[in-house]
Amino acid sequence: MSPRLSWRNGVRALISLLFLFGFSAQAAIYSAPAHDSRLLGFPMVHQVVEGQSLDHVAQQYDMGLLAMMAANPGVDPFLPPTGSSVTLPSQMLLPDVERKGVVINLAELRLYYFDNARGRVYVYPIGIGRVGRETPLVTTKVSQRIKDPTWTPTARTRKEWLEERGIELPKVVPAGPDNPMGHRALRLAYGRGEYLIHGTNHKFGIGMRVSAGCIRMRPTDIEELFELVRVGEPVRIINEPIKISQESSGLYLEVHEPLSQDEELDKSAKTLELTADQRQSLSEPGLNESKIQTLLREQRGLPMTVN
């Protein structure tokens, strides 16, 4: 089902659609912006067909479920009205870090891969560590590429599965359809090597806090990333819920819901902290203070101009 594009985006949004998404669920592939720009993509919408949930739409465009829900507050994620238009989180600001290798921003549940040789940026939705099993903030590198990995669950994981699911896991789970690591994995040179970027044998959970600390990707996404990444490739994991960028068309602000030790909390109850540089940027004369406060409160994960 092709999305219905708003008239104001015109032809260039249609070109963006064809270039970024094609006609199947694949990673968004962007031409890298100029060094003085961090803005990727265009605003887009999708017309809901009968029986579609927001998770169906997220899977169709290879986006995360929570990102879809944040971009469409008030929309029933299970039964969005047939024929209605939902906003796609198809535009974003690059994280404010070096554009090299793999960059994972936990707050936005996205992985960026910078293919600088070809001037491309690949963007993938990811699942990350749940509360109590948080994905660490590190600067590291890929230490191993593994096809058809086995899974060696930790003693803690085996205990959790037994207590919570009544399943006694073996010490080693062989490769295959029952392996929750999927068919590809990239091991990180951190700790004892227990953190990986890997696939999954579950359709649900991408774009959510669901793992035991590893980075989880859809099977087609990890297979694509696996062919792009080499051993020694730098990996940086950050937590940046607020992104600001001065673009030729104005000052953009993008706000994501911050991670919390209590995911049951309402957005307004979660701590959202601005850095000194961010406070300075948002206090410049000529900015729309009301719009800034709205974006900080709503946390929709969409870049918006504030001047």
**Using CA atoms, how far apart are residues 99 and 154, in angstroms rounded to an integer?**
34
198 is catalytic: yes
**Using CA atoms, how far apart are residues 50 and 257, in angstroms rounded to an integer?**
29
For β-strands 120-125 and 250-255, DSSP reports them as unpaired
Q: Would you say 215 and 111 are in contact if contact means Cβ atoms under 8 Å apart?
A: yes
Selecting among 46, 183, 214, 256, the annotated active-site residue is: 214
- Other C-beta atoms within 10 Å of 143: how many? 16
**Using CA atoms, how far apart are residues 182 and 170, in angstroms rounded to an integer?**
17
Torsion of CA 5, 82, 267, 109, to 10 degrees: -60
First to last CA, the chain: 36
Q: Would you say 26 and 60 are in contact if contact means Cβ atoms under 8 Å apart?
A: no
Selecting among 35, 46, 56, 198, the annotated active-site residue is: 198
214 is catalytic: yes
**Using CA atoms, how far apart are residues 42 and 236, in angstroms rounded to an integer?**
26
Position 221: which residue type? D
Q: Would you say 228 and 197 are in contact if contact means Cβ atoms under 8 Å apart?
A: no
Active site members: 198, 214
